[in-house]
Amino acid sequence: MSRLAVTALAIALIPSSQAAEPESRLHSLVRQHAAGMNFPEILAKDGTSYRKVVIKEVTAASVRFTHTEGESTLPATECPVLWADLFGFSGGTGEPAKPVTTVQAGNHAARSIAVIEGDHSNGTGFFCRAEGRTYLYTAAHVLSGNARLQVKLRNGTVVRKFGMLEAAEGADLVRLPVEEEISEALDIAPETGLAKVGEEVLASGNAAGTGTVGFEKGKVLGVGPTSIEIDAEVIQGNSGGPILDGRSGRALGVVTHLTAAREDRWAKDTRFSEVRRFGCRLDREWEWKKIPIEAFLKEGRAVLAIQDQSELMMAALQPSQWKSEVFRRLSSNPLSRDITALDTWIEEQRTGGQKFSETDRKKRFRGVLESARHRSRSQMTAFNHDGFTWFHRDAADKEIRNRAEIDKVYELSMMDLR
């Protein structure tokens, strides 16, 4: 380990009471030996981004450095949080570091956000620096179920080169290492836990799947082990977008899901009677499972096939639903064809002047349900999700339980039709 690395580590380990002392000897030592340190990109407090930064000189009041556009000097109060911590600027100036405003954070984030378009669903992703490289972060469900995907920057540039997908164990969260040059990327929140109730946040994404990037201000309403609740008014399409810390501009979380408003008496006149919005935390450590993206998408399609069949089976039990969207969407499915044929026969009986036989109708309907139940059992027997990533394993477990309940309903329905 280099002398500078040892010094920086020592700063991180000293007690907070000592770290807060002005002009600590360790901070002073780091400043003296900072020349030559390099950073892929830094974001000043005024929102200005500098790329390929190489430090030339650090004093107690400023940092002089070179970058792709030339040479600049930032006063201590305008330096990013990382530099403030490393060089002890909050102690050296006697003032706390100036926070990034949500407007500044939003300007930077807009250049780091990607619109994700699939053949099954659309959503949002964003580029973020972590562990020494740049990743595309998004919610797992944004990718799941798609066979084809396209990742576009706000200026229309398509990003094509990614490494092996990494799926978080225990969360609706994935990331892909980027293997081409990305001009802008966010900093990720430290894993020590930054999310706090009441803190300002800025959430962004491809709202409503329109292909445009928007921003919503809000606050943190709740913090859990894996998720945070916010009141920024994100909607469908924002999924996978960043939740930015209002002070530092760092990526604090990933927009994941909404829950419907509760209508019970216990929720009346509380915030629980309204739609609630959640994100997956990035300010904590995750265990990542690496998998080729094609394999991840295949998992999603396998789960989607189970979901589609379950939806179709439930609709088949309700004659009022026989002309609904699910039958049109899954028109080639054997159950869809059987129900369509039965519906056509019933209509012909009613309009053809023939005497309608209720017994015959029940017999035909029972045969349709019996065939569907047989196919359902065959489908579930062949469905093996043991090796899936956590997000798809969790979804598959829920679908297996749901299908078991549907099969029970089919058995009861067939008994009633005898």
Mean pLDDT is highest, among 72-86, 100-114, 145-159, 204-218, for 145-159
Checking if the pLDDT of 234 tops 70, the result is no
Burial class of residue 262, CB neighbours in 10 A (0-12, 13-18, 19+): middle
Q: Is residue 227 located within the same domain as residue 125? A: yes
Q: What is the mean pLDDT of residues 115-136?
A: 90
Q: What is the mean pLDDT of residues 310-337?
A: 95
**Which pLDDT belongs to residue 41?**
82
CB 293 within 8 A of CB 200: no
In this prediction, what percent of the chain has a pLDDT beyond 90? 43
- Choice among 100-114, 143-157, 312-326 with the minimum mean pLDDT: 100-114
Between 409 and 346, residue with greater pLDDT: 409
Checking if the pLDDT of 52 tops 80, the result is yes
- Cα distance between residue 391 and residue 299, in whole Å: 10
pLDDT digits (tens, 9 = 90+) for 161-175: 999 999 999 999 999
**Which pLDDT belongs to residue 18?**
42
**Which pLDDT belongs to residue 249?**
81
Q: Is residue 404 located within the same domain as residue 330? A: yes
**Which pLDDT belongs to residue 95?**
42
Q: Is residue 262 located within the same domain as residue 404? A: no
Q: Is residue 259 located within the same domain as residue 120? A: yes
Domain boundary among 98, 125, 152: 98
Q: Is residue 325 located within the same domain as residue 233? A: no
Residues whose CB falls within 8 Å of the CB of residue 133, separated by 6 or more in sequence, listed in order: 177, 178
Between 232 and 97, residue with greater pLDDT: 232
Residues whose CB falls within 8 Å of the CB of residue 281, separated by 6 or more in sequence, listed in order: 195, 223, 224, 226, 227, 228, 252, 253
Between 246 and 252, residue with greater pLDDT: 252
Which helix (H) or strand (E) is 410 found in, with range? helix 390-416
Between 99 and 38, residue with greater pLDDT: 38
Which helix (H) or strand (E) is 54 found in, with range? strand 49-58
Q: Is residue 110 located within the same domain as residue 211? A: yes
Q: What is the mean pLDDT of residues 311-319?
A: 96
**Which pLDDT belongs to residue 84?**
83
- Cα distance between residue 111 and residue 180, in whole Å: 16
**Which pLDDT belongs to residue 12?**
42
Residues whose CB falls within 8 Å of the CB of residue 350, separated by 6 or more in sequence, listed in order: 356
The tally of domains found in the chain comes to 3
Between 154 and 229, residue with greater pLDDT: 229
Checking if the pLDDT of 178 tops 90, the result is yes
Between 275 and 396, residue with greater pLDDT: 396
**Which pLDDT belongs to residue 192?**
65
- The chain-wide mean pLDDT, for the chain, equals 82
Between 79 and 312, residue with greater pLDDT: 312
Q: Is residue 151 located within the same domain as residue 241? A: yes
Domain boundary among 98, 114, 139: 98
| Token pair for 174 | 């994935």
Mean pLDDT is highest, among 45-54, 118-127, 205-214, for 118-127
Q: Is residue 134 located within the same domain as residue 272? A: yes
What is residue 276's three-state secondary structure? Answer: strand
**Which pLDDT belongs to residue 319?**
93
Q: Is residue 391 located within the same domain as residue 403? A: yes
| CATH label of the domain that carries residue 186 | 2.40.10.120
Q: Is residue 141 located within the same domain as residue 212? A: yes
**Which pLDDT belongs to residue 126?**
93
Q: Is residue 188 located within the same domain as residue 253? A: yes
Domain boundary among 98, 126, 151: 98
Checking if the pLDDT of 8 tops 90, the result is no
**Which pLDDT belongs to residue 144?**
94
Q: What is the mean pLDDT of residues 252-270?
A: 60
Between 13 and 378, residue with greater pLDDT: 378
Q: pLDDT-derived band of residue 277, with 50, 70 and 90 as boundaries?
A: confident
**Which pLDDT belongs to residue 360?**
87
**Which pLDDT belongs to residue 204?**
74
pLDDT digits (tens, 9 = 90+) for 326-338: 999 999 999 999 9
Checking if the pLDDT of 275 tops 80, the result is no
**Which pLDDT belongs to residue 19?**
42
Q: Is residue 267 located within the same domain as residue 200? A: yes
| Token pair for 399 | 């679908």
Checking if the pLDDT of 314 tops 90, the result is yes
Q: Is the pTM of this model over 0.85?
A: no
Query: In which domain, by residue range, is 125 found?
Result: 106-290
Mean pLDDT is highest, among 30-34, 113-117, 278-282, 331-335, for 331-335
